[in-house]
Amino acid sequence: MFYQSDVEKFMKAGDQPISKKLSIDSKEADLYMNLITEEYKETIEAFENKDIIELADGLIDMVWVIMGMCNSCGINFEEVWQEVKASNMSKFVDGKAIKNEKGKIMKPESYFKPNIKQVLGLIKD
């Protein structure tokens, strides 16, 4: 996925530091958390107003600032994504989903929780 590297180029051009170490203790992480909150609120407003243009803009802006947050915190989004994707796909039994009355896909016995701690390199095999 190239989204994170696109945002990294933007951040470098804007003299924003990129962290290669896992950390949430930085002014950049604070900045990006505030931006995520701001974009989320704008996206809710667009949805409530039934404004598809602003909704699309808000959704993309949220992805952008989430990638910035990952870069600020030293999180490799693609690696974590693959682990979460594998976990989510374990919710299907024989290729079928079990859903509740609202349509949410439920967790069957085959489900396994993503091991994000391992993916982030915080524990070894």
Q: Which of 29, 98, 95 is nearest to 68 (CA)?
A: 29
Alpha-carbon distance of 42 to 69, in angstroms, equals 18
The CATH fold of domain 3-119: putative ntp pyrophosphohydrolase like fold (1.10.3420)
Which residue positions in the chain have pLDDT lower than 50?
A: none
Residue 123 is predicted with a pLDDT of 86
CB–CB of 68/9 below 8 Å?
Answer: no
